[in-house]
Amino acid sequence: MQNLYYEVGSLDKRCYEKFSLTEDLLMEHAASNIQEEIEKRFKKGSSVLIVCGSGNNGADGIALARLLYKKYEVKLYIAFELKSKMAKLQLQRAELLGLKTVDELSSCDVVVDCLFGTGLNKDLDRVSQELIENLNGFDSFKIACDIPSGINPKGEITTTAFFADLTVTMGALKQALYSDMAKDYIGEVKVANLGVQREVYEIQTNVFLLDKGDLKLPLRDKKDAHKGSFGHLNVIAGCKKGAGVIAAKAAFGFGAGLVSVICHDNIDLPYHIMQTHKLAQNCTAIAIGMGLGLYDEKEIKEILNTNLPMIIDADLFHENITLNILEKEVVLTPHPKEFCSLLKLCNLADIKVEELQRDRFFYVKEFCKKYPKVVLLLKGANVLIAQKDKIYVNPLGSAVLSKGGSGDVLSGLVGALLAQGYSAIDAAIHASLAHTIAASNYKKNNYSLIPSDLIEEVKKL
């Protein structure tokens, strides 16, 4: 698990004031980190185009050009008149070495984007857009300095952005790198050491990036156990019964000792999954909402009013009865459209999906501020899991999961962990990690996954 920050300018300032590190020194380390990445990947004599803006991101690029000069064929392109003192100083140093700038863009083995960085605070003008589009058109290995140009601090891309194969971000990870919009642009992400280790550079934060190593599986280390030792999940199946069946199968495959599907119509279930018409007396958790459709409101209210751990999904995010349970510690797993509906129900915001996607972190924080007991798992290219003032980002999702039934599998995984005694936040985190890691392990064509494939991959973790 790694820390995430909205901005790191305050962390740079802390280095100047507390550790007597200078802006110049941090910049040298920033440039040398990109230098190391290039030297690891490309042999001596390879061509490197470095495209620089007018500010300190451009200054990083000019310093990089100086560090690579003579070992590589360096083409330094200054896109705009330099404004920052550091950029002017770095260019003076480069020119004293004999390094000359170029007036035209040309395809090289490596293209380094040092145009705007995290300081972008307005839409790109047409000249900048055309410049970035030209760079994107080159058949080169593309590196972004700090953040791909065109992505603003919220992670928005309002016009266009640089497509990076590698982003070397300075000092610490930024939230903007993990917006859904940014996912296709950032490539591999490396954090540059700016003169002190990250443990020194970073300070406390409430936003975290999850890694594969954070997954804790419900492995059974107790020999004196029976099926009841691992919980009994009750899955409420509605009009679209397949959704409930998928969730039940996923839950059984993820360690729940017993799984029952509650449905008034007889349905075809595997022999190891039970069917019942009401909550079991030994039920330890409930999964509800998947494919629910039309329902008996009185019956659903009775289920929601229980004090059992609960995962709520899908259709219930459009219903007012959901508001009654938001004072409890329940897990909600909406996709963006469902979350917009939920925000409207809660009188927090009346927005469309596009607006939500432009600032997912903000709306998640607002919801959790109003309902601090709830664990919210907002689905997306990057999953946001939040409770109270803490947000956890799962960046491991992929287009493999963009299939009907994938969300029902996730509901079953969360329900299985709740049934086995995981806290609501831990159930959401570890179910989400298992869900995305299992999808990444799927070896067939990425368009072909079906829910049973995903469940089988979960079993192999």
Going by the annotation, the residues of the binding site for AMP are: 407
Helices (H), 202-348: 241-253, 297-304, 336-345
Run of H or E including 66: helix 56-68
Strand partners, 387: 390
- Residue pair 449/401 in contact by the 8 Å Cβ criterion: yes
Token readout for 245 is 């069946």
Residues contributing to the annotated binding site for K(+)? 57, 113, 149
- Residue pair 109/42 in contact by the 8 Å Cβ criterion: yes
Residues contributing to the annotated binding site for (6S)-NADPHX? 56-60, 117-123, 146, 243, 291, 335, 408
Compute the Cα dihedral for 398, 404, 406, 410 and give only its sign: positive
Residues contributing to the annotated binding site? 56-60, 113, 117-123, 146, 149, 243, 291, 335, 407-408
* Main-chain phi, psi angles of 247, to 5 degrees: -60, -40
Run of H or E including 188: strand 188-192
Strand partners, 141: 110
Run of H or E including 370: helix 360-370
Compute the Cα dihedral for 166, 127, 6, 369 and give only its sign: negative
Distance CA 320, CA 342 (A): 9
Q: Which of 190, 177, 194 is nearest to 382 (CA)?
A: 177
Distance CA 279, CA 21 (A): 63
Residues 6+ apart with CB under 8 A from 9: none
User: CA dist 179 to 86, 156, 161, 390, Å?
Assistant: 30, 7, 13, 16
The one-letter code for the residue type at 213 is: G
Strand partners, 312: 288, 332
